[in-house]
Structure 1
Amino acid sequence: MQPVDARNDPAPSRWAYRLERLLLTPLFRLFLRVVLPFTVVAAATLVWLSDQDRRDRLLMVYNDLRTEIATRPEFMVSAMAIDGASKGIAEDIREIMPLDFPASSFDLDLDAIQRRVTELPAIAKASVRVKPGGLLQIVVTERDPVILWRTYDGLALVDRDGYVTGPARARGLHPELPLMAGAGAERHVSEAMRLYAAAGPLAPRLRGLVRVGHRRWDVVLDNDQRILLPEYGAVQAFERVIALNEVQDMLERNLLVVDMRLAARPTIRLAEAAVEEWWRISQISVGNGQ
């Protein structure tokens, strides 16, 4: 039997066998197909960009291309329209938006414009978009004032959520709006509106509400009469006074204050003239008794 020549052995060598097995490994194949090419390209790019002159030329080409696209007529904005705003609010919006037209829509930060518009106290919400034809449209929803708030600085318009929408030049310009006063009153507008709604037959005599000590309300009527309401259950206490007045005409008498701060013991304070009259009558009664 003749010996086999190792050089003519068809079996692969040990290293060839290991290479073939390695090429069959999914992770190694992923490395060859994806990771290695990406690494080579990234390294070549970094080497190319390491030259400052090349980076400057690339940036110049990018800026020229961006400018050429941004200044095309279809991307230019030439006017601004404000919808849903009154004349005064529209003027305020234009004052805080110093935009120079025509301007490229690529240079307009719509989110920043929207945030700036909604920062106005009289604006509840706003939407901003660029319409076809080069028009920047701002659609706003104004806050609806429901009550007047008297402060040391004058009268202010306040909406139902307690936001001051702007100043009120005179009480007579807003006769349909109720009135409140006192520090912190704007944070309790909803309760103030419930008190006004509960006034019923006292509504024609109701002059306003005063927030006292950041805690409770005083109801101010004509003839300098006041109803002192408790910190909690103010509406119920006010309704109780109205019911007593309906039965006994309590508020038609010569009194100054109805104190409802203690629900179990409401008290009244008579006017000075009523006290003097009561004292005179009591003296007459005492004299007649003698």
Structure 2
Amino acid sequence: MLTQTTSRVLEPSDLDAALAVLDRDPVANAFVAARVQIAGLDPWRLGGEMWGWYEDGILTSMCYAGANLVPICATPRAVRAFADRARRAGRRCSSIVGPAEPTAALWQLLEPRWGPAREVRARQPLLVTDRVPDAVAPDPYVRRVRKDELETIMPACVAMFTEEVGVSPLAGDGGLLYQARVAELVGSGRSFARFDADGNVIFKAEIGAATDRACQIQGVWVAPEHRGNGVAAPGMAAVLRYALADVAPVVSLYVNDFNTPARRTYATVGFREVGAFMSVLF
């Protein structure tokens, strides 16, 4: 029995306690919760370690340390403990991402050792909705991407990622991990697109993280030649319809605060702001 404040790497036997922490904010924690529900806490299956912070023997905060470093319900003391552990381990992640306040505190402690970052996005509004909009008709041509269309959708996914993150997902391992992730989303029926008559992608989006409480839309992209033509809002309404009917009762996403067109689109289809994320990109 732990009787004082301490941190440690969680083990598979800690799963119920970890899920209870994640369930305290099912929207903000959807990304990590989805991974834990599938993989448990085994580091090999999870793709990283889960660090836990205990107060008087109770697990109160966590931090996922994998390809991303993600603070979860992290109190100020927990953030300091996670920063100490991260400094000792050295940087292995490509980003730090999570709720803005603890993420900012974590980065402040890590920047002297890990900095400089390639880019810091200090405020990314976290948006949610639980209904299909009344004012925007879903685009009837947006549909699930078929498995045999993987090669067709991939260039659009690469273009979106490169535009959003600033580096190509094909760098490093030649894109093997990224292509596997896109294939996973297509295979699970969570990749959506509108194609033109020649098979070119006009609009696309995916339902990434998904639990029975909430899911997260990601990878929203409109082909450059179709931007400003009213494609995005009906496309988003269509993806929302699928998400709410088939995946979860609440749909979320987070967006860069400087992306005015995207924020306008999301407001049009009924998303409301409930918080903010922060991303530190390396």
Superposed pair shares fold, TM > 0.5:
no
TM-score under structure 2 normalisation? 0.22
Between structure 1 and structure 2, the one with the greater Rg is 1
TM-score under structure 1 normalisation? 0.22
- Structure with the higher helix share, 1 or 2: 1
